[in-house]
Structure 1
């Protein structure tokens, strides 16, 4: 049985890291090794801009995101058009590309699970998936049936507690940096000083510092390094 203190603890988390760790621990206590939660502020927001946290393999997440597999994933399609949970297994992935997706995912321990839709009062849309490395046999389904009401309650607490982090992340996505501001951050990420960047960009050092000041103001941070970290996290500059 889910512990109410654990659910209330989600509401009390002050950082995304603490919140994610609390979510994953609750899921593990219910027998799910992996969990994914994602939400967008409305259906018009591209799914690529979702506030997303999971403990899936980083390699799988990278492949899934880069190939935009959420547009293939039947669990996402189900949640767009239903309020009911989806218990999924190999046969759920019926189309050829979906079968390929499942075969690849199973190599990362994603073999069966249950996905709950998230439909918020203000138009938010999202999904939460509780994942197992075992196939959906009779025992799995029996245990899942026992946990389903609790998982729905967990979904509700996860959604409500995520909003302060998701709203902040989506506000960041609204930030628009100029090409020169991004270029300045890109060079700074590579360890270049303002003077060196001014030579590379063929402008005054004061102009480079002006670009950094604008980036810090837009990101609402106080240091150049914090602006670089935020730009990387949002995919605005590439660390590779």
Structure 2
């Protein structure tokens, strides 16, 4: 069921379709609310936020308050790191911000998982899911939840950049060299950099360099994101 969600979000063509797929996956994962935010750092310190979510209308004004976001420990964690954060009431009380948790808990934001993907050229993508019930106590089950959300975020990132960003900020289809495409192709097949080097008769260092060049051209921060984007653009089959 979740596998279909990964593919469906890649195929979304409009903002509304993207939002529907994000909400659907979130609810399949066992969470009630979700926020998917594209962040663009412009020059002169200006930052633009473009979001889709299913926040309750009664909580909308508080949810959209940027001054609150600047205090929120979950948002601040994602601003600085790419490691997902699993949060609950203790996350806020430990930061001396129990009042923030109290204000959101009555609307169902009691615990959740949030993560950010940081891209070149001042672009970021943040995905957070929330619910009223406690998260699983079993560490294996919780780890699986986080992994599912991470994989979905990688898929959703490309669509978010395509359907949420203004046209002038969208990246044109890049020109990858044959060797860069070969490295991505073998990466898609699950090969390590060392194995790619052996297959292509080049050094592991050179294989890594080709993959990094492809990532940069595609505007991606990991080789797995680069593979997904290359597939969507028709550069790989």
**TM superposition score category, shorter chain reference:** 0.5 to 0.7
CA distance in 2, matches of 1:169, 1:74: 32
Match of 1:143 among 134, 141, 144: 141
In the other structure, the counterpart of 1:166 is 164
In the other structure, the counterpart of 1:103 is 102
CA distance in 2, matches of 1:16, 1:55: 13
Runs of 4+ in structure 1 off by over 3 angstroms are: 43-47
Alpha-carbon spacing, 1:169–1:57, altered in 2? closer, same or farther (3 Å) = farther
In the other structure, the counterpart of 1:156 is 154
Structure 2 regions of 5+ residues with no counterpart?
Answer: 170-237
CA distance in 1, matches of 2:86, 2:168: 29
> How many aligned positions are there?
167
In the other structure, the counterpart of 2:8 is 9
Determine helix, strand or coil for the equivalent of 1:41: strand
Given that 2:59 and 2:107 are in contact with CA atoms closer than 8 Å, whether structure 1 keeps it comes out as yes
CA distance in 2, matches of 1:72, 1:169: 32
Alpha-carbon spacing, 1:170–1:88, altered in 2? closer, same or farther (3 Å) = farther
Structure 1 regions of 5+ residues with no counterpart?
Answer: 172-240
Q: How many angstroms does 1:66 deviate by?
A: 3.6
Alpha-carbon spacing, 1:85–1:9, altered in 2? closer, same or farther (3 Å) = same
* 1:1-240 superposed matches below 5 A: 2-3=2-3, 5-42=4-41, 46=46, 49-66=48-65, 68-93=67-92, 94-96=94-96, 98-136=97-135, 138-139=137-138, 142-168=140-166
Q: TM-score, normalised by structure 2?
A: 0.63
Q: How many angstroms does 1:25 deviate by?
A: 0.3
Determine helix, strand or coil for the equivalent of 1:68: helix
